[in-house]
Structure 1
């Protein structure tokens, strides 16, 4: 799956430090927007969903999976974008369990593709040492080293 991000230009090592979680979501959306897979309408819905339902997108400490429903008009295609923030972003004050540095923005045209995206991402993150290795990435060369180490 790391090769998917790399070969499709869907990985970004973010240099800007987001002021808050909302800005982090917007930064993480840029990769999919650049590939014309989502629009601002989708990104706004993701932000609104977090405001309404809380930080459900932080799936494990350090990892966020921003997404909204496949029915959203702002979804133009299916894909996952991967953005590594320069610093950890807090979604909930005084709760490090809801901090994230790795952002996997999902977009899917239907619920079947959405579930497949989640399954693929889960498989990636469950590999021994994967999250720890991804957290250490500072450059595209670092990313390529992790990709080669995990043969992905």
Structure 2
């Protein structure tokens, strides 16, 4: 699966334990993107500000979050997607499991077109039957590699 290949080949996969709250989870989830020079701390702050302002819009479905800000962000240096799997649910709204996530796909894009392409590629992968469940069940990089192998023949739209 192209998205899983991209994440692995660009060292944009991480597994994390013991996170305090959603703000900390966003910061941790963005770290690979900072390390790889896709974003700056400014972008991380903008994502947190957007969630504070607009609510848990980044939770696409139970278990899956897509941290991102606007395409006008000054903190974006390049277009990319990073992935973090947390060992427990990150709660965005108290007592609302529909707004909790353990899978974080952090998006950054230099313009609106690239932002739309990122969302389209990610959505295509997540809609594939069984992918979300398999990603949620992962605990290690070996598990990630097994999921990557399982879906390697699934073709995503570009």
- Distance in 1, matches of 2:10 and 2:20, equals 28
TM-score, normalisation: structure 2: 0.94
Aligned residues: 151
CA shift at 1:70, angstroms?
Answer: 1.5
Q: Stretches of 4+ moved more than 6 A in 1?
A: none
Write the deviation string for residues 84-121 of structure 1: whole angstroms up to 9, x where unpaired: 01111100011100000000000000000000000000
Q: Which residue of 2 aligns with 1:137?
A: 138
Give the SS at the match of 1:13: strand
TM-superposition CA deviations, 1:118-137 (whole Å, max 9, x none)? 00000010011100000111
Deviation, 1:65, is: 0.2
Structure 1 distance, partners of 2:98, 2:114, is 28
Unpaired runs of 5+ residues, structure 1, are: none
Corresponding residue for residue 46 of structure 2: 45
Please point out which of 3, 6, 10 is paired with 1:4.
Answer: 6
Normalised to the residue count of structure 1, the TM-score between the two structures is: 0.97
Task: Name structure 2 gaps, 5 residues minimum.
Answer: none
The two structures, once aligned, show a CA RMSD in angstroms of: 0.8
